[in-house]
Amino acid sequence: MTTYLLLCLLLLGGHRSLACPHPCSCQGRRVNCSGRSLTSGSMPPSFPTGTTELRLHDNLLSTLPNGLLDDLTSLRSVSLHGNPWICDCGILYLRAWLRRQTTDVASYLGANCSSPPSLRGRSVVYLTEEEVLESCHYWYCNLALASLGSLLVFVAVQAALLVALIVFLKRFERLTKEAKRTTEESFTAGDGLRENDYELLKDSSI
């Protein structure tokens, strides 16, 4: 029974590795994922292990998930052009994978940086380690600026709420004083009326 289950799992794994990933189309060992508006987060988790040609061009890819192409030992061609590659820390996997490939794999053309501005148009495979590290600093600076902006917005909102609370408390205090004064005046007027009634009663009894 255990052997049967293991065989089933192996067969399912094999079928899964041969299946054409959604939303790509496959023809033989060619996998076409071009023009699908794929992002780094919506990429298929894997490709058939026997893939020889992989088309990823004309998408919205900025990076590739780590390890995505490592099992494609039969790969001979990869098209990467037409994607907005962001050459910061996230590009390290693609750069390392491209550098490991032999000249038989046509994959260098088209993998060009879209940002940061200092590296725009540069080929990913020819980036130096120093340039990548500097781009990582660029990314950290952007993150720091975004965090600072969020903090300033938070402080501004808190300040606005504090001002609104102070205005409300002052208005409430003023209304309380007016209500108290009105109540005291009402009591004073009531006492005056009672005294007048007493005087009238006293005069009428005489």
* pLDDT over 70 (residue 189): no
CA distance 106 to 112: 14
Share of the chain above pLDDT 70, in %: 70
CA distance 180 to 154: 39
119 and 189 fall within a common domain: no
- Of 135, 154, 188, the residue that ends a domain is 135
CATH (domain of 58) = 3.80.10.10
Q: What is the pLDDT of residue 180?
A: 78
78 and 173 fall within a common domain: no
Q: What is the pLDDT of residue 159?
A: 83
pLDDT band at 6 (very low <50, low <70, confident <90, very high): very low
The tally of domains found in the chain comes to 2
- Determine the structural domain holding residue 183 and report its residue range: 146-205
CA distance 124 to 110: 9
Q: What is the pLDDT of residue 54?
A: 94
pLDDT band at 53 (very low <50, low <70, confident <90, very high): very high
Question: How many residues make up the chain in this entry?
Answer: 206
The larger pLDDT score, comparing residue 158 to residue 109, is at 158
Answer yes or no: is 110 within a domain.
yes
Share of the chain above pLDDT 90, in %: 39
130 and 41 fall within a common domain: yes
104 and 24 fall within a common domain: yes
130 and 150 fall within a common domain: no
The larger pLDDT score, comparing residue 28 to residue 155, is at 28
Task: Report the DSSP beta bridge partners of residue 79.
Answer: 55
Q: What is the pLDDT of residue 113?
A: 94
106 and 173 fall within a common domain: no
The 10s digit of each residue's pLDDT in 131-175 is: 887 877 654 545 544 565 676 687 788 888 888 888 888 888 888
Q: What is the pLDDT of residue 47?
A: 95
Answer yes or no: is 5 within a domain.
no
28: left (phi over 0), alpha (psi -120 to 50) or beta: left
Q: What is the pLDDT of residue 5?
A: 44
152 and 107 fall within a common domain: no
